[in-house]
């Protein structure tokens, strides 16, 4: 038996480690605070009789509360098992014209993996010297465009003007804006544009700002026609993608806007003092609008710092690709975790 070339050759996405022992875990952009209290309550009070039954294939309860939260119609929302699920479904649905899709370099490394798996040709568009998108690169003929905003792992937010220009230049293809980290930006979401651009799909996740990475919930907002196509493709693969507990807990999380605001603001405040402390230590980094900071030091080797931190039970993210091997991506934890991180980092730098 022979596997097809695209499957044999695929470079699998390697997620950050999930160590079993207790460590300071600043490597996969999880939220250091628990989910909204209503989520724990919902789990404890859950009617286990419902587990015998299939969940609502239309995920109406969560879709409706998300529509209300985003101030759009339920027909403009598509829910999936984490935004990775929504994004991979979107690649299958919208990026199969045979023309190359465009995404930035550097960016979320899963885009390349999906393109290779699904035999979608792609072209990477380098960032400019300040690590911003070069919007003029997105004018060439293409089969679709995807980028995160804010970008990962740089943390840089692009204004809606830039996004609108890209949308206007590409009326005949789908432009996906992956907003996994938008809630930490304090800046407008592209969801506000979906009524004006029928080629725009915006994805968001519950894994970061809502602290529910383990529950696997993500969603897309877009024109009703795009959402209907996504539903059709989803039903053809697996009509019951989301579990009943995830639907109930996700709905609880959306309701608690006050807890969401408080924890997000706390993370942003911790990020801001962490930037100052990193700068004091001589690190250089693009200005992050997310819950992580992508930082390098002109005098210290990235991989060595990563290993030395790991030996001291502090996990951050590091990639071996030469262009970014000098960088560490540090997730913003609690104030206590960040203080411990900085104390340890200073010790290592003195050695
Ligand atoms: N997009 C980006 C840019 C991300 O960093 C991540 C998290 N790894 C995701 C999407 C996927 O998040 P999830 O599947 O947990 O919703």
Domains of the chain: 5-33+258-350 (3.90.1150.10), 37-256 (3.40.640.10)
Distance CA(337)–CA(277), nearest Å, equals: 14
Q: Is 77 helix (H, G, I), strand (E, B) or coil?
A: strand
Pairing of strands 122-126, 145-148: unpaired
Atom number, ligand 1, closest to the C-alpha of residue 207? 15
Closest to 138 in 3D by CA, of 91, 112, 173, 189 = 173
* Residue 18 pLDDT greater than 90, yes or no: no
DSSP H helical ranges for the chain: 5-8, 37-44, 60-70, 82-94, 110-117, 160-169, 224-237, 244-255, 257-280, 302-311, 335-350
pLDDT at site 48: 84
Q: Is 314 helix (H, G, I), strand (E, B) or coil?
A: strand
Mean pLDDT of the chain: 95
Distance CA(263)–CA(348), nearest Å, equals: 31
Distance CA(159)–CA(164), nearest Å, equals: 9
* Residue 239 pLDDT greater than 90, yes or no: no
In the Cβ-directed half-sphere of 211, how many Cα atoms lie within 13 Å? 22
Split at pLDDT 50, 70, 90, the class of 236 is confident
Split at pLDDT 50, 70, 90, the class of 113 is very high
Give percent of the chain with pLDDT exceeding 90: 90
- Tokens read off for 45: 């009070």
Closest to 31 in 3D by CA, of 206, 247, 253 = 206
As a whole number, mean pLDDT of residues 85-112 equals 96
As a whole number, mean pLDDT of residues 331-338 equals 98
- Tokens read off for 279: 């700068």
DSSP 132-153: ---GGGGGS--S-EEEESS-TT
* Residue 80 pLDDT greater than 90, yes or no: yes
pLDDT at site 172: 96
Q: Is the CB of 205 under 6 A from ligand 1?
A: yes
* Residue 237 pLDDT greater than 80, yes or no: no
Atom number, ligand 1, closest to the C-alpha of residue 87? 10
Contact at 8 Å (CB) between 287 and 232? no
Split at pLDDT 50, 70, 90, the class of 162 is very high
The least confident of 14-18, 151-155, 163-167, 184-188 is 14-18
Ligand 1 pocket test: which of 205, 214, 289 has the largest number of ligand atoms within 8 Å of its C-beta? 205
Split at pLDDT 50, 70, 90, the class of 7 is confident
* Residue 312 pLDDT greater than 90, yes or no: yes
* Residue 200 pLDDT greater than 80, yes or no: yes
46-58 CB burial, b ≥16 within 10 A, e <16: eeeeeeeeebeee
Q: Which residues contact 342 (CB under 8 A, 6 or more apart)?
A: 274, 277, 281
pLDDT at site 296: 98
The least confident of 109-123, 197-211, 230-244 is 230-244
Q: Is the CB of 180 under 6 A from ligand 1?
A: yes
Q: What are 19-54's pLDDT values in tens digits? A: 888 899 999 999 999 999 999 999 999 988 899 999
- Tokens read off for 10: 């695929």
Split at pLDDT 50, 70, 90, the class of 252 is very high
Atom number, ligand 1, closest to the C-alpha of residue 107? 3
Closest to 11 in 3D by CA, of 152, 95, 109, 122 = 109
Q: Is the CB of 248 under 6 A from ligand 1?
A: no
Neighbouring CB atoms inside 10 A of 85's CB total: 21
Q: Is 102 helix (H, G, I), strand (E, B) or coil?
A: strand
Contact at 8 Å (CB) between 244 and 51? yes
Q: Is the CB of 108 under 6 A from ligand 1?
A: yes
């Amino acid at each position: 038996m022979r596997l097809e070339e695209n499957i044999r050759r695929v470079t699998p996405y390697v997620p950050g480690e999930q160590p079993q022992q207790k460590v300071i875990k600043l490597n996969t952009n999880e939220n250091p605070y628990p989910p909204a209290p209503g989520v724990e309550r919902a789990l404890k009070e859950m009617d286990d009789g419902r587990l015998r039954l299939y969940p609502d294939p239309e995920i109406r309860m969560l879709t409706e509360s998300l529509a209300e939260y985003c101030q759009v119609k339920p027909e403009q929302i598509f829910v999936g098992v984490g935004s990775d699920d929504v994004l991979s479904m979107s690649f299958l649905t919208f990026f199969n014209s045979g023309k190359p899709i465009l995404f930035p370099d550097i960016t979320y490394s899963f885009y390349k993996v999906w393109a290779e798996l699904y035999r979608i040709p792609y072209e990477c568009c380098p960032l400019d010297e300040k690590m911003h998108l070069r919007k003029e690169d997105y004018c060439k003929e293409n089969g679709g465009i995807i980028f995160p905003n804010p970008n990962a792992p740089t943390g840089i937010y692009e204004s809606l003007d830039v996004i609108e220009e890209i949308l206007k230049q590409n009326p005949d293809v789908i432009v996906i804006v992956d907003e996994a980290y938008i809630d930490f930006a304090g800046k407008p979401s592209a969801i506000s544009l979906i009524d004006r651009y029928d080629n725009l799909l915006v994805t968001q996740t519950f894994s970061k700002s809502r602290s529910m990475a383990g529950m696997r919930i993500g969603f897309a907002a877009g024109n009703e026609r795009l959402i209907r196509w996504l539903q059709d493709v989803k039903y053809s693969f697996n009509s019951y993608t989301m579990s009943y507990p995830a639907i109930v807990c996700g709905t609880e999380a959306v309701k608690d806007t006050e807890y969401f605001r408080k924890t997000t603001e706390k993370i942003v405040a911790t990020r801001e003092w962490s930037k100052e402390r990193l700068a004091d230590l001589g690190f250089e980094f693009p200005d992050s609008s997310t819950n992580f900071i992508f930082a390098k030091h002109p005098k210290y080797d990235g991989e060595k710092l990563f290993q030395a931190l790991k030996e001291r039970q502090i996990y951050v993210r590091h990639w071996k690709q030469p262009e970014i091997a000098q960088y560490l991506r540090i997730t913003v934890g609690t104030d206590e975790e960040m203080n411990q991180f900085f104390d340890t980092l200073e010790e290592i730098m003195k050695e």
